[in-house]
Amino acid sequence: MNITVLGTGLMGLPMGKRLQEAGFTVTAWNRTREKALRLASHGARVAHTATQAAREADVVITMLEHGDAVDAVLFGQDVASVLKPGALVIDMSSIKPAEARRHAQRLAESGVGHLDAPVSGGTVGAEAGTLAIMVGGELADFERALPVFAPLGRATHVGPHGAGQLAKLANQMIVGITIGAVSEALLLCAKGGADIAKVRDAIRGGFAESRVLELHGQRMVENDFAKRAALTVQLKDLRNALETATDLQFNAPVTQLFEALYTSAAEHGLAEMDHSALFRELARQNGMGL
């Protein structure tokens, strides 16, 4: 099976490596060619253009920044026009559900399958092959994609086109809101004079336990906000969730609150830090020099 990976950034690179190591023939393309060349040392082929990369592909994986980028690569750069009939596009980017449905419809007109399959687990999960993969699309396409998903993580079919992106929005709502809850709780304890490292240890294993408390809580304790998942990406996902909620005539007041908080964090210089840097924004709002 020939697999093309379009987008070899923080997530696409380790995913491409795992696919190559699993025995697939991988061709890579990235807008910044140097990023794709990092896969060459693992045996992947590197194409000069996205169209060249996709021409002989059985499966094309896109891992791009947002829906406009996916649209530009698939249709603006004519990738869709060179795909073989029966090829499958697996969009693992995090985009709007409505965008995923439009892409699926346009590809279907050319006899090309489509799955929206965003992921959760970050770079750690991408490197370890333990990503949670939320998949929308036809069940038959999902089943033929299972060998591709296997080296990357655990894939779950959640519904028709766009449903994978809905599930990812749900994931990002929960993650972003929980980061805020952990930040605020630990800052309250710090304000009152408690040792937040010990507070975190004390509440772990109870009903407050979560991966956010485990991983992001430790970053807050260590004041380590080097980017693993950018705050700007978290903000983009919350805004996509709110736009989708509006389309569905659904009221999401908690997400609205956190969209405003992450916006404020970005405006105060934290945009390119890890999304757990919301901790610093809440500290700033409380006059705490952490």
* Catalytic annotation, residues: 168
pLDDT band at 263 (very low <50, low <70, confident <90, very high): very high
Mean pLDDT value across residues 178-196: 98
If one counts every other C-beta atom within 10 angstroms of the C-beta of residue 247, the result is 11
pLDDT of residue 133: 98
pLDDT band at 122 (very low <50, low <70, confident <90, very high): confident
If one counts every other C-beta atom within 10 angstroms of the C-beta of residue 25, the result is 16
E strands in 70-192: 88-91, 113-116, 119-120, 131-137, 153-159
Mean pLDDT value across residues 148-173: 98
Q: Which of 38, 31, 126 is nearest to 77 (CA)?
A: 31
Please name each of the domains of the chain with its CATH number: 2-160 (3.40.50.720), 166-285 (1.10.1040.10)
Mean pLDDT value across residues 123-149: 97
Q: What gap in Å lies between CA 166 and CA 68, rounded to an integer?
A: 17
pLDDT band at 253 (very low <50, low <70, confident <90, very high): very high
pLDDT of residue 229: 86
pLDDT at 228 over 90: no
Portion of the chain with pLDDT greater than 70, in percent: 100
Conformation bin of residue 158: beta by default, left when phi > 0, alpha when psi is -120 to 50: alpha
Portion of the chain with pLDDT greater than 90, in percent: 95
pLDDT of residue 290: 67
* 3-state DSSP assignment of residue 198: helix
Q: Are strands 113-116 and 2-6 parallel, antiparallel or unpaired?
A: unpaired
Radius of gyration, CA atoms only, the chain: 20
Give residue-wise pLDDT tens across range 16-30: 999 999 999 999 999
pLDDT of residue 89: 98
Q: What gap in Å lies between CA 90 and CA 134, rounded to an integer?
A: 11
Beta bridge mates, 129: none
Q: What gap in Å lies between CA 36 and CA 17, rounded to an integer?
A: 11
Give residue-wise pLDDT tens across range 35-91: 999 999 899 999 999 999 999 999 999 999 899 999 999 999 999 999 999 999 999
Conformation bin of residue 156: beta by default, left when phi > 0, alpha when psi is -120 to 50: beta
Q: What gap in Å lies between CA 14 and CA 103, rounded to an integer?
A: 25
Mean pLDDT value across residues 162-166: 98
pLDDT at 277 over 70: yes
pLDDT of residue 182: 98
pLDDT band at 289 (very low <50, low <70, confident <90, very high): confident
Average pLDDT over the chain, rounded to an integer: 96
